[in-house]
Structure 1
Amino acid sequence: MRLLLLRFLFFVFVFFSGITYLSAQTIQTPAQFLGYNLGERFTPHSQIVRYVEYLASQAPKRMQLQTYGRTYEGRPLLLATLSAETNMNNLEKIRTDNLKRIGLAPGQATGTQPAIVWLSYNVHGNEAVSSESVMLVLYNLVTAQNPDIAKWLQNTVVLVDPCVNPDGRDRYASWYNQVANREPNPSPAAREHQEPWPGGRVNHYLFDLNRDWAWQTQLESQQRIKVYNQWMPQVHADFHEMGVESPYYFSPAAKPYHEAITPWQRQFQQIIGQNNRKYFDKNNWLYFTREVFDLFYPSYGDTWPTFNGAIAMTYEQGGGPRAGRAITKTDGDTLTLAQRIAHHYAASLATIEATSDRKDQVLQEYQKYYEQARTKPTGAYQAYVLKANNQPGKINQLTTYLDRQQISYGYATKKSTGFGFNYTTGKSEPVRIEPNDLVISLYQPKSTLIKVLFDPNAKLEDSLTYDITSWAIPYAYGLPAYGLKARVGEVSDKPQPPVGTNPAKMVEQPYAYLARYNSLPDLQFLASLVNKNIKVRFSEKAFEADGQKYAPGTLIITRAGNERLHTKFDALLKAQADSFGVSLMPTQTGFVTSGVDFGSSSVRSVRKPKIGVLAGDAISFSAFGEVWHFFEQQIQYPITVIDTRDFNRVAWQQLDVMILPDGRYNELLDEKNLNQLKDWIRAGGKVIAMEGAAAHLAGKRDFNLVKKKVQDSVDLKKEPYKALRLYGDAERSALSELIQGGIYRVTMDNTHPLAFGYGTTHFALIQEVNDYQFMQRGWNVGVLKKDIYASGFAGSKVKKRLQDSLVFGAQDLGRGQVVYLTNNPLFRAFWHSGKLLFGNALFLVGQ
């Protein structure tokens, strides 16, 4: 095996004919530096960092290295910049001129410039061949003296991210190196091919970073996109792995292509694919194109750069975490790590070569893309308006997001009218624009990205797609919005100050402070107060005080009950409010003009809950990660993570809330454990059952959730031919039973604490068909009725099954509660409008 690896890697080094090894006499190869040949083991991230730093120190005229950030676990995120010496001496001018040419920096660009190519490796940590390959790529770009590579680097600046997901990679590499045999065991049954939960695919919080490019909810994504926007490359390649039985995949991509993708972007995908094909054909390597990996969902490493004007593509090598260093496939062949390294290495250099060969056209088309974006934006709408009234928290969240995307916006300065699409009603109708409404014009460099992110009904040319099919930003943020067919005039860079003075500054030591409650920042404020043992109340009824109306859920922080804080009460409260952008309204009395007074039994106290969350085998790692991230990074509230193996040893008396994320609960919640859980609920505990957990409880004794009966609408005795299906149509026929991330109107009972802060309609992103009956006993807080569809794809049978279904509900069980979240309100952390509902389940339900 060792001899085979050495021969194979020698082939890799001479793969591109003409490479000489003059520089290799002074600069160590990866094998010389690491002490083993690539392909013999998986390299820890720290060693990859050391080698990349070493190359940069040995060849400063051809390579520079920067640390652009750190992961949640503190590992460095690196970006290597490589080019010819003349380009390296002018890097800053090249970078800023590129931005000037597309309107993202002031001034005029001068002279010519190289094309910019960005290569991203190892976004999925257990697709670990990528960061093994990158060391070989960097070594040859730095040391090779042949005329071809030298020419490529004259025509291009190559940006290389050696490992997008260091935390996930080290989780995989550390596990594999611990369990692997001295010699690779290719048997698929061997332990080294059975990665344990949660796997290394995801980052620290178990998020898929390849689905976070557009949303940037994770620290790694935020730091990477900041640097990406400083460069704005013309070409981006994202390196992955897939199943063991697959060969290699490169562009062109599969359908559906999003309609915003230009003919040139499609054409250049073909060109790069042809250049890859040249080398793969030469070496008789198997590959495929135009299947599976489409260009529709906007948050991938190929689509988000595409909607930012680049030609971007996914490369997929067969193997993944199961492959290890060698594995026997079903056809009898053995797939080795060295082979996988060679394929990614070849695709990397072929991508640079194809860009170099057409450098001038690449730059011309890129500049044309942005010129059209600024002057002739495509799409049905020329502006988007998001209403500002009583939604400061949501507006602030949105503008923070827009700033990260380099999307410009303004604020309406006066009242006006227009005509456009109403996201709430789904109809085109007259629009009233008020001062301080947020206005996003499409006449700007990032107009294509805006169109894609805000499009209420993205056109799907083929329903066979790889991910969700709807994501419109107004729905995700829960903001009333309009798409206007005409531009909006007279906008300012900053909102107008509110009329009058903030009353909170005029009153000293008021009786109480009031805070409206309808956004994530409001929930963050509540969680921070509760965590600091500040007594907070909320009203279950609407009321009016000091001439202002307040909805159910309004937070009431009285001086009574917080006496221990003495003179610190006011300053502490205001400091917390300011940190979350929450406005406090002081009042001098507990008496209200209408509604319930602050001493009413309808004004409840928020207790400080002790919360447990299940994690481990049988729990969806992504579902747990979304909950974990929500607590630690979004509301900063402590939780106890309980491994499923320790469920029988839970100290129930130390918990008030138990969260059951999506998962498979058949074995975990057997009869004994389920009875134990019910006893705890009856004694005053609260369970939040999400997706698969809710499905497991449905129909069980004492739980009021019940699945609807699915009846076959076809009587095969009367219509026997209906059973005949074409094998070739199987995949498409299954679509009638599927939902692919569609947006639906959920009717909310906003008199129930679970729905406080919402209107009567909430737009939910539905990922699965969870068709439950309305509960006969309990509270049907969020339901799907008849007119429910808003956006995205769902099969014909799915739409019928979803009608008249429960989405969110709650029931009493003894002195405790069960909250059913049959749809995940925390999906990928970007569906912000669902987060308040999850917070309500934690803090408000059952008080």
Structure 2
Amino acid sequence: MNKYFLLFIVTIVSLNLQAQKLLSPKEFLGYELGDRFTRHHRVVEYYKHVADALPNVEFYQYGETYEHRPLIYVVITSPENFQNLEQIRLNNLRKAGMTEGSPSADKKAIVWLSYNVHGNEANSTEASMQTLYELSNPQNKKTQEWLKNTVVILDPCLNPDGRDRYTNFYNQYGNVPPNGDEDSHEHNEPWPRGRSNHYMFDLNRDWAWGTQTETQARLKVYNQWMPHVHVDFHEQGHNHPYFFAPAAEPFHEIISKWQREFQVMIGKNNAKYFDEQGWLYFTKEVFDLYYPSYGDTYPTYSGAIGMTYEQGGQTGITVTTREGDPLTLKDRLTHHHTTGLSTVEITALNYTRVVDEFEKYFRDNLNNPVAPYKTYVIKASNHPDKLEQITKWMDTHSIKYGHPAAGKASRGFDYQTQSTGNVSVSTDDIIFNIYQPKSRFITAVFEPQSKLPDSLTYDITAWNLIYANNLKAYALPERINIGKAYELKPADNTTIASKPYAYIFNYQGVKDVAFLSTLIQRGIKVRSALLPFKSNGQNFDRGALIITRRNNEKINDFDNTVQSLAKEMGRKIYTSPTGFVESGKDFGSSSVNYVKAPNVALLFGEETSSLSVGEIWYFFEQQLHYPITTLGTDYIKYVPLSKYDVLIVPEGYYSSIDEKFLEKISGWVAAGGKLIVVGSGLNSFSDKKGFSLKPYTNDDEKEKAEKKQKELSQQQALVRYEDAERKEISNFIGGAIYRVTLDNSHPLAFGLSSTYYSLKTNELRFGYIDGWNVGVLKGNQKPVQGFAGKNANEKLANSLVFGVERKGRGNIVYLVDNPMFRCFWEDGKMLLSNAVFLVGQ
């Protein structure tokens, strides 16, 4: 053989072997993990490298962020299991009853490790690379033994946009060498910080609601695997030691005995390794298992052992703790790496029982569910958009629903009246019972009242989607089975042959607002009815959109444009051959307002709540598709506000809104501007010159409140130190649902009923204003659902929730409760929409 050809073959073989060699993170990246923060694209490259190097590691891209970064995960198991990976996945779904077929007796535990859902809790992605290496390394005999009966899924970064925001900040401003002083700029990120995603959503609160593209993509693959164990890796403040399972109370009562028990077993295994190193840790405190939308609770309510692991950190390469010790990135990632492997180990050692208990969990769900309410009924009379919204949400979570086979008389809880009574179930109604795999998740989201064993919780205590959508619905203690598949009836739109005098559209939900947004951006002039009317034999409520041929003469192919847009957006078309109505006001009346296309601005930047800003920004761009200008708090004082029709001030704490700026805003409103202020942002306008907003309506009301507060202070003067935290919660509202009386004759409340269920997440109290008190809490109400401290609750009696103050030619809209909170409260979106498009027109 030619020696040159032989040399060529040897070289090719050598290069091929080298290409297949598994590299450690240090070898691949060129630096030790912990020396710096790794940008997301390099993490992805390392994960691809491991998958390319080994036959038993599979790489998947399951989505893309708003900023076009890939969302990825890998699956690792033994070579033997890898050959049957799809069968293992399907068999697991069969054990859960989530796909057809009988499961085999084969048992493989599935562990899912999720990293970096909060972008600036950045050590966990670094830890994931070391964990990936140790699990996949064929030379690591211990991990290879675990993989014989375990499949491990690693998602290195649930929030790539937020993580790169943080990483880029630190790489730009980190000192050389790293500075441990917590006051150094490298430890103090600028607004909005790296915690949230592109739209500034906290993705760790979005699991149940699925508003964000990252969450939607993740839920799809999560429900395709249904792991037995799920860990969500986090960082807390740097002066805290490590937290791992078991979680703190309250546990929701539907959590199984085994789920509690295995949390303890996992915690003890973690503790073994921490004890060996002398590392500090704590368990059973702070981080509870209640709110269903976390990375620990959503998996828990879906049958897994769901856990949060919290490392002290949220800081740079090194920081000095209050004990005077350095806490390094290397320390932090090592701790997360240790608990990750420990969790895989204890699961592998107990894989038989893990799988058996998982199967039992779902067997109980299917045959003997634990909750008192067995069936939920959503009446067919609800608006079609609301029915579509709730059914799409159920599809996201693999919840089975449909129509009953026959009508039925029953008794149950009426969400609208808050009472138990007779219920008539029809074959057109939507029903879903809890005899199905997602039984306990359904209960957690929809039960009329959740038992709260302990009022000290980490998050909101109410979230019911029946109230969020204000649905006519019932909870029944009896089982009703699905008789036929659900059918969504499309809008009945036939081609309109004639050229009508006007097109009319109902205005009853967010999709109608999005339709209005599209129309006015196309240059189509739209009117809105201030009063109910009847036209061409059809009744229309306040807010109905009217598009007359008059004033739209310049629109090319006017009829086809309106009809095509309506069909494209699923809006039912009504027409009238005349502007003369059968009852109500004619289309040329002053009670039918022209809807001017508003130029909308949103206050943005330091001092605003990034979460509140993100909710509004996302809503405009992703749901309404309407342009919005973001104005920075650092320069808004110099912006000529006359350019804008609407200014939205989100939640926040505004030291920059001083007397001079308030005077500028007040003058702009008086000249015809519209100011919308949300939640805590109201504090900057309360008791200020030019604004009628005050904590109390009059001096008498204020005096009575101050007297009561003084009495309470005297009663609590001798509270024991150990009871101080519980004393404070009497003044706290833990995210509770209140029934608000709504004046839906006002444009702010168009499309809503006279009752609005408000998710109250603050204790703000304001008296009735000199203007329109559109939404109020009358008397001393208790929450419909959730926890509210006694003192906080009493303080809210006869208070403002939503109001409109007329000022000169403009308006000020006060939204005391944030209707956009986490963007899952559908009815709340109408309030903001109306404030922008309809109030003051």
For the aligned pair, the TM-score class normalised by the smaller chain equals over 0.9
* Aligned mate of 1:633, from 622, 628, 639: 622
1:644 aligns with 2:636: no
User: Partner residue of 1:209?
Assistant: 203
* Aligned mate of 1:671, from 650, 654, 659: 659
Unaligned runs of 5+ in 2: 1-16, 697-701
Q: How do residues 204-353 of structure 1 correspond to structure 2 at under 5 angstroms?
A: 204-320=198-314, 323-353=315-345
User: Partner residue of 2:477?
Assistant: 485
User: Partner residue of 1:528?
Assistant: 518
User: Partner residue of 2:695?
Assistant: 707
1:54 aligns with 2:42: no
Residues 413, 436 of structure 1: 8 Å contact kept: no
Q: What is the Cα deviation at residue 722 of structure 1? A: 4.5
Q: CA RMSD in A?
A: 1.9
Which digits, 9 at most, give the CA deviation of each residue in 1:592-651, with x for residues without a partner? 221112111111111100000011111111110111101111111001111111112213
Q: Determine the C-alpha separation between the residues in 1 that align with 2:142 and 2:30.
A: 30
Structure 1 residues 488 and 511: alpha-carbon distance in aligned structure 2, compared to 1, 3 A threshold:
farther
The residue identity in structure 1 corresponding to 2:448 is: P
Structure 1 residues 436 and 588: alpha-carbon distance in aligned structure 2, compared to 1, 3 A threshold:
farther
Residues 788, 803 of structure 1: 8 Å contact kept: no
User: Partner residue of 1:617?
Assistant: 606
Q: Give the secondary-structure state (helix, strand or coil) at the position aligned to 1:723.
A: coil
Structure 1 residues 482 and 390: alpha-carbon distance in aligned structure 2, compared to 1, 3 A threshold:
closer
Q: What is the Cα deviation at residue 507 of structure 1? A: 4.8
User: Partner residue of 1:554?
Assistant: 544
Q: Give the secondary-structure state (helix, strand or coil) at the position aligned to 1:792.
A: coil
Structure 1 residues 64 and 721: alpha-carbon distance in aligned structure 2, compared to 1, 3 A threshold:
closer
Residues 107, 351 of structure 2: 8 Å contact kept: no
Residues 240, 317 of structure 1: 8 Å contact kept: yes
Identity %: 47
User: Partner residue of 1:691?
Assistant: 679
Q: Give the secondary-structure state (helix, strand or coil) at the position aligned to 1:549.
A: strand
User: Partner residue of 1:14?
Assistant: none
User: Partner residue of 1:9?
Assistant: none
The residue identity in structure 2 corresponding to 1:544 is: K
User: Partner residue of 2:775?
Assistant: 782
Q: Give the secondary-structure state (helix, strand or coil) at the position aligned to 1:791.
A: coil
* Aligned mate of 1:508, from 492, 498, 501: 498
Q: What is the Cα deviation at residue 370 of structure 1? A: 0.9
Residues 433, 481 of structure 2: 8 Å contact kept: no
Q: Give the secondary-structure state (helix, strand or coil) at the position aligned to 2:582.
A: coil
The residue identity in structure 2 corresponding to 1:522 is: D
User: Partner residue of 1:42?
Assistant: 37
The residue identity in structure 2 corresponding to 1:134 is: S
User: Partner residue of 2:580?
Assistant: 591
Q: What is the Cα deviation at residue 789 of structure 1? A: 2.3
Q: Determine the C-alpha separation between the residues in 1 that align with 2:306 and 2:714.
A: 48
Residues 504, 585 of structure 1: 8 Å contact kept: no
Q: Which moved more, 1:152-161 or 1:92-101?
A: 92-101
Structure 1 residues 112 and 638: alpha-carbon distance in aligned structure 2, compared to 1, 3 A threshold:
same
Residues 659, 688 of structure 1: 8 Å contact kept: yes
Residues 374, 475 of structure 2: 8 Å contact kept: yes
Q: Determine the C-alpha separation between the residues in 2 that align with 1:779 and 1:141.
A: 63
Structure 1 residues 251 and 489: alpha-carbon distance in aligned structure 2, compared to 1, 3 A threshold:
closer
1:405 aligns with 2:397: yes
With structure 1 as the length reference, what TM-score do the two structures score? 0.94
Q: Give the secondary-structure state (helix, strand or coil) at the position aligned to 1:565.
A: coil
The residue identity in structure 2 corresponding to 1:443 is: Y
Residues 23, 144 of structure 1: 8 Å contact kept: no
Structure 1 residues 711 and 23: alpha-carbon distance in aligned structure 2, compared to 1, 3 A threshold:
farther
Structure 1 residues 256 and 581: alpha-carbon distance in aligned structure 2, compared to 1, 3 A threshold:
same
Q: Determine the C-alpha separation between the residues in 1 that align with 2:716 and 2:60.
A: 62
Q: What is the Cα deviation at residue 502 of structure 1? A: 3.4
Q: What is the Cα deviation at residue 508 of structure 1? A: 3.1
Q: Determine the C-alpha separation between the residues in 2 that align with 1:331 and 1:494.
A: 61
The residue identity in structure 2 corresponding to 1:657 is: V
User: Partner residue of 2:561?
Assistant: 572
Residues 695, 822 of structure 1: 8 Å contact kept: no
Q: Determine the C-alpha separation between the residues in 1 that align with 2:560 and 2:287.
A: 54
User: Partner residue of 1:32?
Assistant: 27
Q: Give the secondary-structure state (helix, strand or coil) at the position aligned to 2:690.
A: coil
Q: Which moved more, 1:571-580 or 1:448-457?
A: 571-580
* Aligned mate of 2:837, from 833, 843, 846: 843
Q: What is the Cα deviation at residue 506 of structure 1? A: 5.1
Q: Give the secondary-structure state (helix, strand or coil) at the position aligned to 1:747.
A: strand
Which digits, 9 at most, give the CA deviation of each residue in 1:438-479, with x for residues without a partner? 211222211111111101211100000000000111011121
1:737 aligns with 2:727: no
Q: Determine the C-alpha separation between the residues in 2 that align with 1:98 and 1:593.
A: 62
Q: How do residues 457-496 of structure 1 correspond to structure 2 at under 5 angstroms?
A: 457-488=449-480, 491-495=483-487
Residues 111, 152 of structure 2: 8 Å contact kept: yes
Q: Which moved more, 1:119-128 or 1:671-680?
A: 671-680
With structure 2 as the length reference, what TM-score do the two structures score? 0.95
* Aligned mate of 1:425, from 417, 425, 438: 417
* Aligned mate of 2:816, from 817, 822, 837: 822
Q: How do residues 85-104 of structure 1 correspond to structure 2 at under 5 angstroms?
A: 85-104=79-98
Q: Give the secondary-structure state (helix, strand or coil) at the position aligned to 2:554.
A: helix
Q: What is the Cα deviation at residue 715 of structure 1? A: 5.6
Q: Give the secondary-structure state (helix, strand or coil) at the position aligned to 2:422.
A: strand
Q: Determine the C-alpha separation between the residues in 1 that align with 2:497 and 2:797.
A: 51
Q: Determine the C-alpha separation between the residues in 1 that align with 2:122 and 2:488.
A: 51
Q: How do residues 349-364 of structure 1 correspond to structure 2 at under 5 angstroms?
A: 349-364=341-356
Q: Determine the C-alpha separation between the residues in 2 that align with 1:209 and 1:490.
A: 33
* Aligned mate of 1:797, from 783, 791, 794: 791
Q: Determine the C-alpha separation between the residues in 2 that align with 1:571 and 1:293.
A: 56
Q: Give the secondary-structure state (helix, strand or coil) at the position aligned to 2:719.
A: coil
Residues 507, 586 of structure 1: 8 Å contact kept: no
User: Partner residue of 1:376?
Assistant: 368
Residues 752, 827 of structure 2: 8 Å contact kept: no
Q: Determine the C-alpha separation between the residues in 1 that align with 2:240 and 2:710.
A: 40
The residue identity in structure 2 corresponding to 1:468 is: I
Q: Determine the C-alpha separation between the residues in 1 that align with 2:715 and 2:708.
A: 14
> How many residues align structurally?
817
Structure 1 residues 100 and 316: alpha-carbon distance in aligned structure 2, compared to 1, 3 A threshold:
same
Residues 393, 581 of structure 1: 8 Å contact kept: no
Q: Determine the C-alpha separation between the residues in 1 that align with 2:368 and 2:390.
A: 25
Residues 430, 486 of structure 2: 8 Å contact kept: no
Which digits, 9 at most, give the CA deviation of each residue in 1:248-301, with x for residues without a partner? 000000000001100010001011111101101111111000000000000000
Structure 1 residues 171 and 719: alpha-carbon distance in aligned structure 2, compared to 1, 3 A threshold:
closer
User: Partner residue of 2:358?
Assistant: 366
Q: Determine the C-alpha separation between the residues in 2 that align with 1:580 and 1:312.
A: 39
Q: What is the Cα deviation at residue 432 of structure 1? A: 2.4
Q: Give the secondary-structure state (helix, strand or coil) at the position aligned to 2:136.
A: helix
Q: Determine the C-alpha separation between the residues in 1 that align with 2:710 and 2:765.
A: 22
Q: How do residues 74-223 of structure 1 correspond to structure 2 at under 5 angstroms?
A: 74-223=68-217
Which digits, 9 at most, give the CA deviation of each residue in 1:201-248, with x for residues without a partner? 000000000000111100000000100011010110000000111110
Q: Determine the C-alpha separation between the residues in 2 that align with 1:189 and 1:378.
A: 51
Q: Determine the C-alpha separation between the residues in 2 that align with 1:147 and 1:648.
A: 64
Structure 1 residues 679 and 793: alpha-carbon distance in aligned structure 2, compared to 1, 3 A threshold:
same
User: Partner residue of 1:537?
Assistant: 527
The residue identity in structure 2 corresponding to 1:34 is: L
Q: Determine the C-alpha separation between the residues in 1 that align with 2:721 and 2:19.
A: 55
Q: What is the Cα deviation at residue 582 of structure 1? A: 2.1
The residue identity in structure 2 corresponding to 1:703 is: F
